[in-house]
Amino acid sequence: MISLAQIKSKLPLDFIENLYKTYNTRIADKILLGMGEKRFTTLRVNTLKSNVEEVKECLEKQNVEFEIVSWYKDAIIIKNAQESDLQKMDLYKDGKIYLQSLSSMIPPLVLNPKEGEKVLDLTAAPGSKTTQMVALMKNEGYILANELDKLRCERLKYNVNMQGAKIVETINENGSTIGDKYPEYFDKVLLDTPCSGEGRFIANDVKTYKNWSTKQVEELIKVQKDLFTSAVKTLKINGEMVYSTCTLNLKENEEIVNWAIKEYPLELEQIKIDLKNTIKGVMKGLDSSLSKSIKMIPTKNQEGFYIAKLRKR
């Protein structure tokens, strides 16, 4: 792990200045120190093809050290192997596991799709949350998984097939148009929106932050609002949606949700998963009116993330 001063010297200055404007010094320091950690590889057991006991047994045979996640029995933290090592294993090749960050697993758990429901994953590639939702639904119901980028959509289709997810229809369209095509059609909607990715920054990996800029953040806000509008249109009355990002600033998180609540008949719901007592680095949304939403601070186990659950009235 590198020092706080070293971390600050590597990351974009505008990002650091905004971080200290948004959070108190203790929290901002904690976020940056989390970005100085080398993150563990984490995975989700694909219960459509396997189970935790089988995966544990296979990992033990390969001398892979691991830890079961207390708040999600299908999630595993790998202690002594990289993603590339796991990708060589039959477990991975057979689609029995999916390499996925822990924070990324939370939005589907919060949305909690049930068997037989119709669900929209509006920006779905590469399919980590899509396939997780299929597992939660036990392959019963319907998921429409949309992705704008053609190459990413192909990756989405590949992962859906690899994981044995049979209830997914994948489409390659602009998410902002889906609302007009499927008015009040879905029971639940996941909007894990394109974002500036601040929660994924790793100080020693310039690839994670080289494209970040304040201009990019401003451009993404319009995209996020357009997608939010589309998502709300597709949702049935009394339907539920989850809005999530892997970024940390207010503009793409709390301010977007506040805008949506004022613009549309949406009500913020309490997130019922008790994460604060089981995961380090979970805090309430910074706006007092959004205290039901949660923010994950980056640590060696998890990326930074923001999650809000809403109901359409």
Is 246 an active-site residue? yes
Q: What stretch of H or E contains 192? A: strand 186-192
Q: How many helices (H) and strands (E) would you count in the chain? A: 12, 13
Distance from C-alpha of 170 to C-alpha of 230, rounded to nearest angstrom: 17
| Cα-Cα end-to-end distance for the chain | 47
Location of structure tokens 């095509």: 181
| Long-range contacts from 61-64, C-beta under 8 angstroms, 24+ separation | 62/89
Q: What stretch of H or E contains 45? A: strand 41-45
Sign of the dihedral defined by the CA atoms of residues 198, 200, 203, 204, in that order: negative
Exposed / middle / buried, residue 121 (Cβ in 10 Å: 0-12, 13-18, 19+): buried
Catalytic residues: 246
